[in-house]
Amino acid sequence: MRRRMARAAAGGHADFLVRRAAEDLDERLGVVKRDFALALDLGTPGPAAARVMTASGKAAEVVRLSSLAGSDVVGDEEALPFRDGAFDLVVSLLALQAVNDLPGVLVQARRALRPDGLFVACLMGGDSLAELRTSFAEAESEIEGGVSPRVAPFAEVRALGGLLQRAGFALPVADVEPVTVRYASPFGLFADLRAMGLTNVLVDRRRTPLRRATLLRMAEIYTRRFADPDGRVRATFDLVWLSGWTPHESQQKPLKPGSATTRLADALGVPPH
């Protein structure tokens, strides 16, 4: 994955999804009534996230960690080289869907934050590239008599929300924003995936070259099933947003069960039976 990301960066990275996520980040941080002294940009391809944090004034200083040259710290998202409680804010855009141990990364991110620090991440999940996955599976079944993993599995939003709680974040929130990108043909999608460094790196993928007949049949199926009336085909990217705070005594806490002093029926104005 690192080699392919480096190749994509050298050849002109297709960053339209990262830029879209950065715009959304600007809006999401805008509703947080707080500024942060020191922020960590965890693995975001390119400087878009760091620019948003500094331009908005939400972060006085940003440290960028990435496996690519040009970052402040060239390192591994799964082995953070920072002391506990080093940052007030940790942000990651479209990087964490590719890590091997996402629960472990979330735990490290929580440890890297000071008490009452904020974690915000956007990663591909849900039904991302469902059209491509479906078309490849059908074509390979027809032409080659079996299916090879072509698209990495993506976590569901509910599961990702559970991972935030498991990592020890307070007030966890997970939501999904589907983004539809349209192309003249499926081969335009292939070009963008290569330019994003997102081609197939699954260990269990078929090692023989992709057959031309399979590729052409996949394109036929994709166009037949997922084209709009104008002939352009759709590709879905589900951008899953995660946020959580490191625990602090000042944060709101749920009341203990049975501690209510008012009946719900009374609050809703329901007449007694």
Round to whole Å and give the CA distance between 216 and 48. 36
Round to whole Å and give the CA distance between 55 and 169. 27
Q: Which domain holds residue 110?
A: 2-247
**Domain contains 37:** yes
> Which residues, at least 6 apart from 100, have a Cβ–Cβ distance to it below 8 Å?
78
Domains contained in the chain, number: 1
CB 4 within 8 A of CB 197: yes
CATH of the domain at 194: 3.40.50.150
CB 144 within 8 A of CB 194: no
Round to whole Å and give the CA distance between 81 and 266. 54
Helices (H) and strands (E) in the chain, counts: 9, 7
Encode burial over 152-170: b for 16+ CB neighbours within 10 A, e otherwise: bebbbbeebbebbeebebb
State pLDDT tens for residues 106-121: 999 999 999 999 999 9
State pLDDT tens for residues 66-110: 988 788 999 999 999 999 999 999 999 999 998 889 999 999 999
**Mean pLDDT of all residues in the chain?**
88
Beta-sheet strands, E only, within 126-255: 170-183, 233-245
Residue whose C-alpha is closest to residue 19's, from 233, 191, 161, 196 = 196
**Domain contains 255:** no
**Domain contains 94:** yes
Model confidence at 248, in pLDDT bands (50, 70, 90)? confident
Round to whole Å and give the CA distance between 198 and 151. 9
State pLDDT tens for residues 22-58: 999 999 999 999 999 999 999 999 899 999 999 999 9
Round to whole Å and give the CA distance between 179 and 158. 18
**Domain contains 265:** no
> pTM for this one?
0.84
Residue whose C-alpha is closest to residue 89's, from 126, 69, 47, 61 = 61
Q: Residue 255's pLDDT is what?
A: 57
Token output for 69: 């040259």
CB 194 within 8 A of CB 241: no
* DSSP conformational letter for 67: S
Q: Residue 259's pLDDT is what?
A: 62
**Domain contains 16:** yes
**Domain contains 31:** yes
Q: Residue 237's pLDDT is what?
A: 95
Round to whole Å and give the CA distance between 103 and 101. 6
**Domain contains 21:** yes
Residue whose C-alpha is closest to residue 170's, from 256, 253, 84 = 253
